[in-house]
A and B are shown apart, each in its own frame.
Chain A
Amino acid sequence: MATQLIQLTGVSKNYRKGRETVRVLDGISLGIDKGDFVGLMGPSGSGKTTLLNLLGGLDKPTEGLVEVDGRVISALSPGALAKWRSSNIGFIFQFYNLLPVLTAARNVALPLLLTSLPASRRKQHVNTALQLVGLTERASHYPRELSGGQEQRVAIARAIVSDPPILLCDEPTGDLDRSTADEIMDLLQRLNRDYGKTIVMVTHDPRAASFAHRVLHLDKGELGAPPEETPGAPGGTSP
């Protein structure tokens, strides 16, 4: 029986826009099991990224609770949240967000600077992560010397280097061509299947979404029924 890792209960999020209050998420309740791979789809402005930010402790809900592994993260202080993120969440962004002044290896090593690991162990972890994404030979390259796909692989290595249980991906294939996007999705699928990572992925791309075990649809801040047509995964493992 699957264990629930993430639980959202009645989560709403409002933003102030001038004098107006905009409700981006409206009473979301959702459970995500350990080892799940969830796709989040919906039109622009539907609240997908906001939901992802709440899951990752980058933002706090206006109402409701966000629990991860039994801990109510929406009640944590900013400092405690930052510490929690460093050991529980790996972020993967659409535009990779690598630091241009650092080599691939140093980019990957960044989250390890938040741990007490000695330098030799950090190097070991970085090598393992780069090996896992197939970029060992590019370790000393700077982001500008890498292709988009390679940059995203480095970003994935950075996300997994400290072995967090949850990966949050915001349009991870949004900036890539079809075949590179497939490679990235294969990699994420492998991390889910072989390493048990729980993945929540925001995407506009139905093909990428088809790699997920299940796809949630957000519209106007509410979880709704999926549209009728969702293309099948090219080798996906949709239940």
Chain B
Amino acid sequence: MFGWLTQTAALAALNLRSLPRRPGAAAVAMSGIAALTGVFAGVLSMASGFEKTMEGSGQEDVALVLRSGSTAELNSRFSSEQADVIRYAPGIVRDAAGEPRVSSELFWIVNAVGKSSGTEANVALRGIQPAGYALRKGYRLAEGREFTPGRFELIAGRGARNQFAGLEPGQMIRFGKTEWLVTGVFEAGGSVFESELWCDVNVLQSAYQLGSGFQVVRAQVDGAAGRARLEEALDGDQRLAVDVWSEEQFYSEQAEDTTALIRVIGIPISVLMAIGAIFATLNAMYASIAARARELATLRALGFGSLPAALATLLESVALALLGGVLGCAIAWLALNGFQASTLASSFSQVVFNFAVTPDLLAQGVTAALVVGLVGGVFPAVRAAMAPVTVALREL
């Protein structure tokens, strides 16, 4: 046992020392594997970043009331009377003055021009009530001031401001026939709300002739028990046909379709690239063995075994793959981690999110590289072990 381990270590060290003599083949294998892990980590960082943004948006103690059967705010609708019934339902937390912590809201889509693309994209313009600020975890006014109720004013989420033109505090921006003053920029803990523009819900109703109704009622509840009480009360009310969601669950489900789509596209690309990388590794390793056929034969003539020769070849392949994998992950991390992008979410509005090259993804990328190295090294390793010593010794 000790014997072949020492032999394998010695032969692997020799193989690695001889790598600089074969820079071309080694570079092709390494860059193939680096490209694989880079694309793998890159594509999946998009999915994980989007997921993180969406899942970080919801709170367990906030309930969303939507029209029964609606899976998005956009296709929900209540009258103001129904919204009032919900507002005073049991299970909702009240403030010091005894007022329920509720924000009845409208979710409207407007067109804004992307800063980098120069093309128009859907952006969410959300009308909120004063309690709406406190219902968002991590809400903070970062620049300027909040909008004044009753005026055509809005505040822009930091993500929306970064992605779209005309959203700097003090700027006027036109959506349809209405011109709005951007009064400030807000943060909301990196959540989906940072992709939105917020204004007074009553102003939004009048600006786009939306009547007096709302699309969603957002309410702070006393945990899961409070939400259950609210749900029970609303279910039993003949005037309403609504569904009560935990905000956390709502955004988690909203994320599923988009992240699944990114993965459906990303994983086959990665698999194709992995196949390419396996061939590049095979090629590099066969080249390595061919270039050192006489050396390997000499070592075996000296008494080194064929199993250590095979294992050392496999280790060389894995080492190349590891270098390529680390390189690819480093490039993905440096180039993409925190990179801000936006995509059309199931709410039909752009959601701004940051690519997240997480430690998990890096580990998966390096693991994929190692698998490629192992698979790509097996046949060359067998060849290294089986090559007839007497023939190889005579090769020049």
Tell whether, in the assembled complex, residue B17 and residue A95 are in contact, meaning their CB atoms are under 8 Å apart: no
Q: Would you call A111 and B17 a contact (CB within 8 A)?
A: no
Distance between Cα atoms of A128 and B300 in the complex (Å): 24
> Within the complex, which residue of A50, A59, A101, A113 is in contact with B10, where a contact is CB–CB below 8 Å?
A113
Q: Are A58 and B18 in contact (CB under 8 A)?
A: no
State which of B31-39, B302-310, B326-334 sits at the interface with chain A: B302-310
B148 shortest CB reach to chain A, Å = 76
Q: Which residue of B is nearest A97, CB measured?
A: B298
B325 smallest CB distance to A (angstroms)? 25
B3 within 8 A of A: yes
* Residue numbers in A under 8 Å from B294 (CB-CB): 97
Stretch at the interface among B115-123, B349-357, B364-372, B388-396: B388-396
The reply to whether the CB of A146 lies closer than 8 angstroms to some CB of chain B is: no
Given contacts A59-B390, A93-B393, A114-B3, contact A100 B302 (CB under 8 A): no
B263 to chain A, nearest CB (A): 44
Among A50, A59, A101, which residue has its beta carbon within 8 angstroms of that of B14?
A101
In the complex, what residues of B have CB within 8 A of residue A95's CB? 396
Contact A114 B302, beta carbon cutoff 8 Å: yes
Residues of B close to A102: CB separation below 8 A: 14, 17
Bound-state Cα–Cα, A49 to B295, Å:
18
Considering only residues 257-305 of chain B, those with a C-beta below 8 Å from chain A are 294-295, 298-305
A53 to B390, CA, bound (A): 7
Which of B6, B294, B303, B390 counts the most chain A CB atoms within 10 A?
Answer: B303
Q: What does DSSP make chain A's interface, helix, strand, loop or mixed?
A: helix
Fill in one digit per residue for A56-95: 1 if any B CB lies within 8 Å of its CB, else 0.
1011000000000000000000110011011100010101
A22 at the interface (CB under 8 A from B): no
Residue pair A114, B396 in contact (C-beta under 8 Å): no
User: B298: nearest residue on chain A (CB-CB)?
Assistant: A97
Contact, CB under 8 Å: A82 / B300 = yes
Contact mask for chain B residues 1-42; partner A; CB cutoff 8 A; 1 contact, 0 none: 011001100100010011001000000000000000000000
Fill in one digit per residue for B306-341: 1 if any A CB lies within 8 Å of its CB, else 0: 110000000000000000000000000000000000
Q: Which residues of the partner chain B approach A111 to less than 8 Å between Cβ atoms?
A: 302-303
- CB-CB contacts below 8 Å: A98-150 with B: 99-102, 110-111, 113-114, 116
Using Cβ atoms and an 8 Å threshold, which residues of chain B touch A59?
389-390
Decide if A110 touches B305 in the complex (CB within 8 Å).
no
CB neighbors of B among A9-63 (8 A): 49-50, 53, 56, 58-59
In the complex, what residues of B have CB within 8 A of residue A49's CB? 390, 394
Q: How far is the CB of B15 from chain A (nearest CB, A)?
A: 9
* Contact of B390 with A114 in the complex, beta carbons under 8 Å: no
CA separation between A201 and B294, bound complex, in Å? Answer: 20
Q: Do B301 and A114 touch across chains, with their CB atoms under 8 A apart?
A: no
Q: Which of A87, A97, A114 is B295 in contact with, Cβ under 8 Å? A: A97
Cβ 8 A contact of B7, one of A56, A99, A113: A113
Tell whether A114 pairs with B303 under 8 Å between CB atoms, given A97-B298, A99-B295, A100-B21.
yes
> Closest chain B residue to A56 by CB distance?
B301
Bound Cα distance A122, B333 (Å)? 46
**Across the interface, which residues of A come within 8 angstroms of B305, CB to CB?**
78-79, 82-83
A97 in contact with B393 (CB, 8 Å): yes
The closest CB in chain B to the CB of A170 belongs to B393
The interface residues of chain A lying within 8 Å CB-to-CB of B301 are 56, 58, 85, 91
Taking CB atoms, residues of chain B closer than 8 Å to A113 are: 6-7, 10
Contact between A101 and B18 (Cβ–Cβ < 8 Å)?
A: yes
Once the chains are docked, how many angstroms separate the CA of A95 from the CA of B91?
90
Partner of A93 from the list B298, B299, B304 (CB cut-off 8 Å) is: B298
A83 touches B303 (CB 8 A): yes
Tell me the complex Cα distance, A87–B303, Å. 8
Q: How far is the CB of A14 from chain B (nearest CB, A)?
A: 14
- Chain B residues lying within 8 Å of A93, measured Cβ to Cβ, are 298, 393
Q: Could you tell me the distance in whole angstroms from the C-beta of A86 to the nearest C-beta in chain B?
A: 3
Given contacts A82-B300, A86-B303, A113-B7, contact A58 B389 (CB under 8 A): yes
Task: Pick the contact of B390: A58, A82, A85, A100 (CB < 8 A).
Answer: A58
Q: Which residue of B lies closest to A86 (CB)?
A: B303
Could you tell me the distance between the alpha carbons of A114 and B4 in the complex, rounded to whole angstroms?
9
Question: What distance in Å separates the Cβ of B348 from its nearest Cβ neighbour in chain A?
Answer: 62
A16–B18 Cα distance when bound, in Å, is 34
Query: Which of B14, B18, B306 interacts with A82 by CB under 8 Å?
Result: B306
Across the interface, A110 reaches (CB within 8 A) one of B302, B306, B307, B396, namely: B302
Using CB atoms, name the residue of chain B closest to A109. Answer: B10
Residues in B with CB closer than 8 Å to A82 are 300, 303-306
- With a cutoff of 8 Å between Cβ atoms, the chain A residues found around residue B307 in the complex are 79
Distance in Å from the Cβ of B344 to the closest Cβ of chain A? 56
Contacts of B21 in A (CB 8 A): 100-101
- B302 & A91 in contact (Cβ 8 Å cutoff): yes
Are the C-beta atoms of B302 and A86 separated by less than 8 Å? yes
| A224, chain B: closest CB distance, angstroms | 23
Report A77 CB to chain B, min CB distance, Å: 11
The answer for the CA separation of A158 and B394 in the assembled complex, in Å, is: 19
Besides A49-B394, A85-B302, A91-B302, 18 new A-B residue pairs in contact (Cβ under 8 A), listed by A number? A49-B390, A58-B301, A83-B305, A85-B303, A86-B303, A91-B301, A93-B298, A95-B396, A97-B298, A99-B295, A101-B14, A101-B17, A102-B14, A102-B17, A110-B10, A113-B7, A114-B7, A158-B302
- Can you identify 7 A-B contacts, CB atoms within 8 angstroms? A53-B390, A82-B304, A82-B306, A85-B301, A85-B303, A99-B14, A101-B14
Instruction: Please provide the 5 A-B residue pairs with the shortest distance between their CB atoms, ordered closest to farther.
Output: A86-B303, A97-B298, A101-B17, A85-B303, A113-B10
